[in-house]
Amino acid sequence: MAAYGYARVSSKDQNVRRQLDALQAFPLSKRNIYIDHWTGATFDRPRYRALMRRLRAGDVLVVTSIDRLGRSYAEILDQWRYLTRTRRAAIVVLDMPLLDTRVTPSNLTGAFVADIVLQLLSYVAQIERENIRHRQAEGIAAARARGEHLGRPRIRRPPNWEEVRERIRRQELSRYQAARELGIARNTLLKWLREDGVQPPEQAARGRGSGTREALAREAPAREVARAAPTPAVAQTPVAARAAPKPAQTQTQTHEQAPNHPDECSKNRNERPNTRNKPGR
């Protein structure tokens, strides 16, 4: 039987030292303590998954408080039943002695009391989490009602902003050139232009293009009429005339004009020099 500790904080800037001291005083060795810097709304955490791969039947899982295990009411109950019944591991919650399944592992009454206390504490943890969100939303609404700025601090406009804005209004600068000249992001430039009621250059160009689209729309009926007009007939040669065969032309070839006359061919053969038996070949 091995004992493992689990500690959790929601973010890396929170201190986990108090939980580590309590787990080591249980006692637990440092190599058996798993730490997550993760939200408690889900059990899909890297170190918790690694702990589940190592946990065996009969082992003990130790946490300092039930909200370190998780903050979701339904998921805490499901995980508790999974660990104690399916994985057959014991759970010890240090700040709540009633949530210790090692005390009477074979006592049904002890397990029953532990389940009741667990459901109550898990419900309280869920309600506290929802109250934190509700109080946060109320604080944000009150700050907005007082006119306070929330989020990142506003970027101060440079001294040459009015000059650049007028050049943008006269369409002498694009938003890329203006943002580069002011040393700000293009989204910040667009935000400032909207606040001052100035249309960005690209949007102004699209606005001029709408007039061209309207002109094309007005010319569309004329184009449709021209497309529907009948095409003038082109004079064509009758098919019968094109298909009629041409008369055969008789050509009279004389004896001298015949290229392959027998006498002429024999004369040419007799006059051709005989190089077949020439010496040296």
In DSSP terms, which residues pair with 9 in a beta bridge? 37
- Residue pointed to by tokens 């109080």: 135
Nearest-angstrom CA–CA distance, 175 and 184 = 11
Q: Assess contact for 196 and 165: CB atoms under 8 A.
A: yes
Residue whose C-alpha is closest to residue 80's, from 71, 91, 96:
91
Measured between alpha carbons, how far is 10 from 29 in angstroms, rounded to an integer? 23
Q: Interior CA angle at 278 toward 274 and 281, to 5°?
A: 125
8 Å CB contact between 161 and 198: no
State phi, psi for 90 to the nearest 5 degrees: -95, 150
- The one catalytic residue in 10, 11, 29, 210 is 10
- What distance in Å separates the CA atoms of residue 219 and residue 207, rounded to the nearest whole number? 19
Buried b (16+ CB within 10 A) or exposed e, 174-185: ebeebbeebebe
Dihedral-angle region of residue 256 (phi above 0 means left; psi in -120 to 50 means alpha; beta otherwise) = alpha
d(CA 180, CA 164): 11
10 is catalytic: yes
Active-site residue list: 10
